Amino acid sequence: MKTVLITAIGSFSADIVIKKCRENGMRVIGCDIYPREWVVDAGNVDAFYQVPRATEAEAYPEALLEICSREKVDGILPLIDVEVDVLCRLRGEFAGRGITLCISEDACIGLCRDKMKLFCRLEEERPGTVIPTQTLFGVKPEALSYPVVCKPYNGRSSQGLTFIGSLREMERFLVGRDVSDYIVQPLVTGDVITVDVVRNAADGAWAAVCRRELLRTLNGAGTSVRVFRNPELEGLCGRIAGWLGVNGCVNMEFIEDGQGQYHMLECNPRFSGGVEFSCMAGYDCVTEHLHCFEGKPVNTRAEITEMYIARKFEEYITGTGGAR
């Protein structure tokens, strides 16, 4: 791929994805829903476009297709969930124009997006991998062991997540609420563990980098982490990636309880917000992700260095003149 389009370049993972694509000799086009002056990385791409929100069913695809035509784009790297979902439905249209959509296949993304289906699929392979999950619709509240967690089966970034500590709280939660899209799980407490996983679907080769999230934003992005090695957890993630049919880089999240047991929360079929942590620790997830869509083998023997990494925010002047 000579020219790539990276979407949502105001998101956490954009900076390292842009840098690595450039290191691989690619021309980088960026887009975001906000104006250039609002997005620092708009100054770090060869061309920037403001686009409609992905939820605008007609305007968003039209905008991306126009950009791809004008800039002669070979591949698209979507960075956020909603764009992955929309572009997945347009895969055939992009493929017909010779454009590679650099995400896993539809079946994999469908499993990752539906927490109930994900639970059922992984229970077939390795019972106990995912926190026990059931649909909330039709469940008798008195039959649950509290505390529990309720959330939409297709929720993202903790949206709609509710902690419920008792039967009385559950009864209040259910009043007047349509719960047909909700799942319920027992509450498991502990440290959040994020694992960046790269798998090449062509030959099944994979690599994984684990980190403990020490500080996180409210929507689940790590700001201070500890990268560590754990061959057992890494191996489990490699097997999960195979069971789901992952191609490229995804991130898996777990809760490590007080007994050191890992309980899987979800698999996000995109770069994690903290993918740069893995790159800094010794594994170039972005380049290896690109290899999965370029017919190249992925590196499975990278030397990962255990380390603490903290993220800071920095200010940039992105324009001058009157306020917008």
- Mean pLDDT score, 63-79: 97
Q: How far is CA 12 from CA 33, 206, 295, in A?
A: 15, 24, 27
Which is higher by pLDDT, 301 or 219? 301
- pLDDT > 70: percent of the chain: 98
Tell me which of 170, 186, 202 is where a domain ends.
186
Q: 262-268 and 206-216: which strand pairing?
A: unpaired
Same domain, 84 and 7: yes
Q: What is the pLDDT of residues 168-208, one digit of tens each?
A: 999 999 999 999 999 999 999 999 999 999 999 999 999 99
- What's the domain range around 278? 189-310
* Residue 324: per-residue pLDDT: 56
Q: What is the pLDDT of residues 1-60, one digit of tens each?
A: 899 999 999 999 999 999 999 999 999 999 999 999 999 999 999 999 999 999 998 999
- The number of folded domains in the chain is 3
Look at residue 118 and tell me if it is in a domain: no
Same domain, 168 and 223: no
Same domain, 16 and 85: yes
User: Nearest 5°: CA angle at 143, between 119 and 261?
Assistant: 45
* Residue 51: per-residue pLDDT: 98
* Residue 251: per-residue pLDDT: 97
* Residue 300: per-residue pLDDT: 95
- Mean pLDDT score, 247-261: 96
**pLDDT, mean over the chain:** 94
- Mean pLDDT score, 113-139: 94
Look at residue 245 and tell me if it is in a domain: yes
Same domain, 172 and 194: no
pTM of the model: 0.94
Same domain, 276 and 231: yes
SS3 assignment, position 154: coil
Same domain, 289 and 225: yes
* Residue 165: per-residue pLDDT: 97
Same domain, 215 and 277: yes
Same domain, 202 and 278: yes
Neighbour-count burial of 204, counting CB atoms closer than 10 A to its CB (0-12 exposed, 13-18 middle, 19+ buried): exposed
Domain of 166, CATH number, reads: 3.30.1490
Look at residue 70 and tell me if it is in a domain: yes
Look at residue 324 and tell me if it is in a domain: no
Tell me which of 103, 123, 146 is where a domain ends.
103
pLDDT at residue 148 tops 80: yes
Domain of 15, CATH number, reads: 3.40.50.20
